[in-house]
A and B are shown apart, each in its own frame.
Chain A
Amino acid sequence: MKNLGRIKRYIKGETKKIVFTLILVLFFVGASMSQPYLIGKALDEALANNYHAFLTYVITCIILAAVGIISGYLFERLVNKFTHNIVYKMRIDVFNKINSIPYSYFSNHSSGSILQFEIVDIENITNGLISLFKYFIEGGLTIIVTIILMFILNWLLAIGVILLSPLSIFVARFISNRNHKYFVKQFELQSNINALSKECIENLDLIQSNNYELQFIEKYKKSNNILRKHGNLALFSASWVNPSTRLVNNIIYALIGVIGIVIISIKSDIFNNLNAMISIGGLASFLVYINQYTKPFNEISSAAIELENARTSFERICAFLNQPDDKDEGIKEVTSIHDISFEHINFSYNKKQSLIEEFSLDITHGRKIAIVGPTGAGKSTLINLVLRYFDIDGGDLKYDGISYRELSKKTIRNNIGFVLQEPWVFKGTIFDNIRYAKQDATNEEIIDVCKKANIDKFINLLPFGYDTIVSSKNGLSEGEKQLISIARLMLAEPNIVVLDEATSNIDTRSEKMINDAFDKIMENKTSIVIAHRLSTIVSADVILVIKNGKIVEKGNHKDLMNKHGFYYELYSSQFDSVS
């Protein structure tokens, strides 16, 4: 088992609790299961007119009950405690892994599947751990202790019960297996209909504006009815558990009871010689055991499914945690970076198809570099390299003349501020979202920055202005999210600014105002700008036109226009409809 190390690590610090738990469960099961035995004994002593023996048994029974109560309570408490301690550690581990795994992991895995580790899998493990102790171990122990006590009471009847046990096991397994199958199916159909409801609610505008309600309901009805049919089966098959447990109990109860009565009543020497006699008190205890006998079988069989789920979830989480961390070999820290130079850089996302070959470029202090080119040319890839989300395959990338290998990622990123193509807004107020760049910024500072860039007008139209709570899915259009991201960057005031299509969803006038504000802030600072809309970049010191990972043209706006090349073409196509 290759994940043993991890298990050890998680259990570490909990070992004492776990050992103690195992001792407690022994006490609990022993004390609670011996109660019927003692009661039976007490009754027998009463029937035999032994007052003192009777009293002794009753008092023992009281003491054991107390032991059972206390150990039972502590047992459940401890299980609860260490389970949550363990999964707490797992949650943090998963979370930190998300922050430290190489960025490329996110390109190959959906966010839903990563989220599943943190939520579904860890819940499964929690349930599995609790089932393991509360049902598996306790239930198993209960069965063993019951069988032992039954043998002490009467071996013949005990053998009878053991012979009948397969009935309990069979019924429990049959039901839980069948349930599992139907429930998987029902779960699938339920998620299906949930997805359909979600589709309906999210696309309400679309459906309403097309008067498509009736057709949609027809579709919904169909899925709903399929769910109903299978749901019937699933619910019905699950409902076998209690009645059939009662039936099995009743059968065993009647059978063993009657055999017991026969033994008592016949008083034959055969039973005596076989040492198989049973008293009335003994029979009473025995019948109690039988009543409780089937329950742990049911519990264990449903716990088995939970354990299995927990095991697969744990393996999934381990596989995620065992991924190597993002390499950060550089240790050098610097206080400021102003220049960036690419030296014969090669890079590709997958090893088969190279994207950037022999790319060289010097970006010096205070310059504004613009990168333009068709989709898929590798513009954003350059940004990914500069910000060190991906490692270059060959060549060197230098910051103020120092190779990327020597600098820590942290120090590089501390010096570069950016707005990326897909703006990020997290759940919180507008203030929270902008303050992310500078934790100690005051509200006034934030409002000031927004005013400067003419962003605060739209914020004031939100229901509660800067205090409106927004989230990634609620409340803001893509352009508005970009505005927030820009405000965030302006607040940070970094040495180098990277803008990757930062204003693609913003109207041109606002864009111009933002750019003017940027130009003021960015005086004497280095900037790299990628833009689809070329109006943004005409003022750049150098414009690079990139195609298939290579620089095809280079120069300022005027030079490139005079050249009548690819840039000219791109530029002309954009203003076609206005002039």
Chain B
Amino acid sequence: MIKRVSDSYKHNIAAYIFGPILKIIEAVFDLLIPLFMKAVIDLTKFGDVNLMPESNVISKNLGLFIRSFGCWITDNRMLSDALIAFSIILTMGIVGFLITMITQYIASITAMKVGTEIRESLINKILTLSKKETNKINKGKLQNIVNNDTYIVQQGTLLFIRLIVRMPTILIGSLIVSFLLDYRIGFIFVAIVPIVMFITLIIMRYSSFKYIGIQANLDDISEKTSDVIEGEKIIRGFNKQNYEENSFRKYNDKYKKSAIHVGNVNSLINPLTFAITSIAIIAICLFAGNSILSIGSNEGVAIATTVIAEISFLAQISFTLTQFASTFLVLVKSRVSEKRINDVLLLETSKDNNVLPKDYNVVLSFEDVSLRYVDGGNNVLKHMSFSLNKGESLGIIGATGSGKSSIVSLTERYVRPSEGKVSIFGVDVNDIDAKVLRSKISYVSQKASFLQGSIKDNILMSNQKLTDKEIIESLKISEAYEFVSKYKDGINHIIEENGLNFSGGQRQRLNIARALAKQCDLYIFDDCFSALDFITDKKIRQNITNIYPNASKIFISQRVGSILNCDKILVIDGGEIIAQGKHDDLLKNCQIYKDLYISQKRGSLK
């Protein structure tokens, strides 16, 4: 578990140092090869090292080096030189290749190591986030950070190790060598390298900046399309096909326009690089030609061979520069991703003080609690106060969208109150140890959700120690065993993504079974009975009372029938508690409650 991305770099510091260093060897070899070629041509043309012009220092030395291997073919010195040079070049090529592959290997394993470590740490961190934080960063962005940004940082590491040293070595090396070969040609090199570098960088920087925009345009197209697929019935029903086509065209136009724009800008890179290298080559040629013409063809050979070597360097430089530009961009992107990852890893998750529950009589109390998910936005809960005594049951009833579920989020501490105080098990919810808190609460969500796996896997989630028999027992309490037992594989039956292979009612019964498999002090049922028919609803509630008579319970519902027996009932409307009390009192005092009751009561309809 790392605290920031750079920690992971530190763990692999050796790879970041030695990987690139090894690359120097190949780069140096790559620079030497054209020089050997020049040397051997010079040797051939001049016949011996001593006959070369004084200024031709490199060829002289390399010539001596070649000759130091002796003479392999005695009757043809030149052929022997050529063969030796060939062997040297080949050896350098192969050795360079092998050493490079070591670096490539180091780069691959390090990149994957870093990527794996970051990904794992992110998931670790995310599992500690509260609802307010996930609301702020938003879940889609979190997914992008775990999946895409980690990948980009991984890619950054890969390129860093592979190329960070090779590129400057080639660039600086070829500059030095061209100065040594001929300082005048060296100046031509010095002039063009920064220009090419500058142009490619500017263009790529610009286009990658624009590329983010293109990606957003593509996301719009994707979102529009999936909205339309989902709403096809409604679109046809409202005869909105033309309207949709027009609004899609807008997105498509935008995308096309920006894609063509970026493409056009990118189209500049190759011709511009070609233009600049052409200028360099022609300049070298003009300059060399004039020198040859002035000193005569005999000594001019050395200049001609220099040109051969220089052109070879030029090719390497222009390749390296384009590579440099794209690598640079990946590294820039990687820095950006690194920051986004760090933003998550360094999130200050408001620490709890690990206070353990005390002896308590009041399980849960809200004192003037308000809540908002977006700072500066509207409040979802407004000045709520109520309490729940140990062993008692609390019913919460209210209209769709009145804020009932937010009460649960506060109780489970998925969010903390924006104002006011929530106490649970005798301790301020801000201070209590979250693990202990959640081990004492069992919560059934409104929308049944499952992890990939079997029914058994999902029930074991809440309590790992259960035997198969106990699992079946909890399925029976939630009236789910009746359909589970019909599967050949019983509790090992697989729950598909989002539980789509079960009906809504079946999903909800599995969801309840999972919560009931956990023995704890407080059970919260968040509107989970509404997908069930009334008889099953009643049976399950009876089972719960029979099996956990002493536990405290909170029932959230739209059905009066599900809560009317509770010791206390809260009526919520528009984020506020408008009444609380027992069923009979509420019937007398609370019009909304009465309306609800009447709307659900048999025979009172008309």
Contacts and interface: CB of A to CB of B under 8 A. Distances in A.
Contacts of B76: 266
Contacts of A144: none
B116 interface: yes
B401 A477 contact: yes
Contacts, number: 476
B311 A46 contact: no
B223 to A, nearest CB: 6
A65 B273 CA distance: 12
A479 to B, nearest CB: 4
B127 A457 contact: no
A554 interface: no
Contact of A46 (B92, B289, B380): B289
Interface string B249-278: 100100010011001101110111011001
Contacts of A463: 372-374, 377-378
A100 to B, nearest CB: 7
A215 B464 CA distance: 10
B86 A255 contact: yes
Contacts of B423: none
Contacts of A68: 271, 274, 278
A69 B292 contact: no
Contacts of A284: 304, 307-308, 311
Contact of B449 (A203, A232, A283): A203
B562 interface: yes
A556 to B, nearest CB: 11
A198 interface: yes
A323 interface: no
Instruction: Count chain A CB atoms within 10 A of each CB in B26, B90, B374 and give the residue with the most.
Output: B90
Given A115-B222, A572-B602, A73 B267 contact: yes
B538 interface: yes
Interface string A206-229: 111111110111001100110110
Contacts of A269: none
Contacts of A215: 461, 464
Interface residues of B, number: 178
Contact of B235 (A62, A73, A99, A575): A99
B185 interface: no
Contacts of A492: 238
Contact of B229 (A114, A190, A505): A114
B281 A208 contact: no
Interface stretch (A11-19, A237-245, A300-308, A360-368): A237-245
Interface string A463-474: 111000001101
A16 to B, nearest CB: 17
Nearest to A463: B377
Given A95-B228, A511-B599, A578-B597, A211 B439 contact: yes
B239 interface: yes
A73 B602 contact: no
Contact of B304 (A98, A114, A281, A477): A281
Given A100-B241, A244-B97, A576-B535, A250 B231 contact: no
Interface residues of A, number: 156
Interface string A436-472: 1101000000000000000001101111110000011
Interface string B69-110: 000000010110011011001101110110011001101110
A198 B315 CA distance: 46
Given A99-B235, A247-B93, A280-B305, A61 B123 contact: no
B385 interface: no
A203 B451 contact: yes
Interface string B537-580: 11000000000000000000011111010000000011100000
Contacts of A575: 534, 600-603
B599 A35 contact: no
B578 to A, nearest CB: 12
A573 interface: yes
Contacts of B240: 436
Interface in A62-102: 62, 65, 68-70, 72-73, 76-77, 80-81, 84-85, 88, 91-92, 95-96, 98-100
Interface in A491-530: 492, 505-512
B423 to A, nearest CB: 19
B107 A262 contact: no
A137 interface: no
Contacts of B603: 575, 579
Interface stretch (B3-11, B192-200, B295-303, B355-363): B295-303
Given A54-B289, A235-B108, A457-B574, A250 B93 contact: yes
Interface stretch (A160-168, A418-426, A542-550): A418-426
Main SS of the interface on chain B?
Answer: helix
Contact of A232 (B108, B131, B228, B263): B108
Interface string A553-579: 000010000000000000111111111
B602 A118 contact: no
A275 interface: no
A273 interface: no
B530 to A, nearest CB: 8
A426 B289 CA distance: 70
Contacts of B45: 264-265, 280
Given A194-B147, A280-B305, A221 B221 contact: no
A264 B37 CA distance: 13
Contacts of A103: 232-233, 236
A266 B259 contact: no
Contacts of B90: 250-251, 254
Given A72-B274, A243-B101, A220 B120 contact: yes
B33 A43 contact: no
Nearest to B129: A204
A39 interface: yes
A400 interface: no
B438 A209 contact: yes
A413 B263 contact: no
B259 A84 contact: yes
Contacts of B126: 200-201, 204
Shortest 4 CB-CB contacts between residues of A and residues of B: A458-B401, A575-B602, A463-B377, A80-B263
Given A292-B315, A457-B573, A472-B226, 11 more contacts: A43-B307, A99-B245, A208-B412, A211-B439, A254-B89, A258-B40, A287-B312, A424-B230, A457-B399, A477-B405, A483-B401
22 contacts: A43-B292, A51-B293, A58-B289, A85-B256, A91-B252, A98-B232, A211-B438, A236-B105, A239-B108, A243-B104, A250-B30, A265-B45, A280-B305, A284-B307, A410-B239, A474-B138, A479-B400, A480-B401, A512-B599, A572-B602, A573-B533, A575-B601
